[in-house]
Amino acid sequence: NRAFVAALTEIDAQKVNEAGLRHRAMHDSLTGLLNQSAFRARVVVAVQRTAAEFGMCAVLYLDLDHFKDVNDLYGHKCGDQLLVAVSKRLRASLRPSDAVGRLGGDEIGVLCPTLHGEHEAVRLAERIVNTINQPFTIDEHVVHISVSVGLAFSNGTGLTADELVAKADQA
């Protein structure tokens, strides 16, 4: 006589949990944007690819103007809600191939991993400025902010990912 023992384990819940952990490890908990380290990793890949393929990529460094004023006037809860609203607008204005990450406080990075020319990134920067300049309604408050955008390009010139982000921040 032979006997078999079967043990079944439900792994769907475990897979969902693992996917959630991976997502939280790579994304900002407030905005859902890539976190700083995940954004940097994407920039590293884009810079390496552009160097290997003689392509072009760009990083846009966004700094929300008057964000501190919103926090001071309406409180940090309103500021947090504003960051979430800005993030949604940004995602809607980007190309599917672009990546956006929260680099800290009110600083956001946008990676354009593939460009046919600098004009594409310049048009994207203009679209972002126009999008962010539109008023936001947060709770009962109408909030006006603007955005400063620095732009830097990599076209196989030997810049590292950190140098590219730093150049965009300085711009």
- Which SS3 state, helix, strand or coil, does residue 129 take? helix
106 is catalytic: yes
- Per 3-state DSSP, the chain is made up of helix, strand and coil in percentages (nearest 5) of 50, 20, 30
Q: Within its chain, how far is the Cα of 96 from the centroid?
A: 12
| Number of Cα atoms under 13 Å in the Cβ half of residue 131 | 18
Residues 128 and 62: beta-carbon distance below 8 Å: yes
What are 64's strand-pairing partners? Answer: 147
The single residue of 69, 72, 80, 106 carrying the catalytic annotation is 106
Residue among 132, 28, 146 nearest 80 (CA): 28
Radius of gyration of the chain (CA): 20
Q: How far apart are CA 87 and CA 110, in angstroms?
A: 11
Catalogue the active-site residues.
106
